[in-house]
Amino acid sequence: MRYNITYMEHTISWRSIFRIILTGLFILLCIKLVGVVLIIVVSMMVAAAFSPIVNKLKTKMPIALASVLVMLALLSPIVIVSISIIPNLIQQFPDILHTINSTLGKMTILPSSIRELDLTQYTSNIASYILQSTSKITSFITTFITVVFLTLYFLIDSEKLLSLIYSFVPENYNEKAKQLVAEVSRVNGQYIRGNLLISVICGIVIFIGLSILKVPYAGSLALFAAIVDLLPLVGAFLGAVPAVILAFSISPLIGILTIALFLIYQQVENNLLAPNIYTRALDLSPALSFISVIIGASLFGMFGAFIALPVAASLPTIINFIKGNHFKA
């Protein structure tokens, strides 16, 4: 019996090798610069959120002045909160943790592993680590300042920047590209503006409710609830935990009323505020939203969780423009 064996020669040209090397270098560069890319994405999202306000103001004043005024209006609440509330929060933080720790220890319905937790010890270790890690604090401040100035740049030179981007797009696709950019900017802008507004409403409502119930540290707890409310899906639960535990330290009735306060507010936010403020900008299923947040948080931490939903909401728009009737020459 004879077997005919045919040997096939695969030739790889130098051009193919060069392309493979170039692709590998590009992927490596993206991995190395992922932090820079994330800063640029966040800055562009913030700029997209407030560009409609700048566009209205620039009819009455220079665009540079309009952009600076919008950024000052955005940063002023952050500065005021940082100066007036955060120092009190830092001062009250050990007392809050001690109260939470003692309250957890008295809750016999909880597992012993939770009741025996010493939160004050963990927190002191974290605090000392943060104080020693001056490079991390410097990095955070540098990142924040970079985002502020990049956002300002995107607001002032948005037209020039978009013109540069459109110059790389074939002329017959130019109009479609403009429609795509406008739609993605609308989705991201509505999300960020809506998220910030809902967070402010959350902080005010929770502060009023906790003050009426006479829960201690109402201001600090409301600030914490407002900040974590920026995180989609999980923020509402995280914001309620310390307030509920402190409320139970007063009495079971106050604890139950505090739970009711957060539950009622979340129902109002989910069914009344969010649909009207977002105006269905984020047309995502709950399952897809949850998966997006998990992936974003796993890859980029808190920043990733924050931008996960608008990025995920933008993908259907991009896909529709590519595979639908859009982008047809």
Tell me, what's the pLDDT at 327?
Answer: 44
Q: Is the predicted pLDDT of residue 20 greater than 70, yes or no?
A: yes
Q: For 177-232, how does the pLDDT look when each residue is reduced to its tens digit (9 = 90+)?
A: 777 778 778 777 777 888 888 888 999 999 999 999 988 888 888 888 888 888 77
Q: For 132-152, how does the pLDDT look when each residue is reduced to its tens digit (9 = 90+)?
A: 555 666 777 788 888 888 888
Return mean pLDDT, the chain.
75
Tell me, what's the pLDDT at 264?
Answer: 92
Tell me, what's the pLDDT at 329?
Answer: 40
pLDDT over 70 percentage in the chain: 71
CB 215 within 8 Å of CB 258: yes
Ramachandran angles phi, psi of 130, nearest 5°: -65, -45
Tell me, what's the pLDDT at 304?
Answer: 75
pLDDT band, residue 58 (cuts 50/70/90): confident
CB 246 within 8 Å of CB 103: yes
Q: Quick one: which of 177, 201, 174 has its CA closest to 268?
A: 201
Least confident of 20-34, 235-249, 277-291: 277-291
Q: Is the predicted pLDDT of residue 328 greater than 50, yes or no?
A: no
Report, as an integer, the average pLDDT of 294-312. 75
Q: For residue 42, how far is the Cα from the chain centroid?
A: 8
Alpha-carbon distance of 293 to 202, in angstroms, equals 20
The alpha helices in 116-234, defined as continuous H runs, are 119-132, 134-156, 158-166, 174-212, 218-228
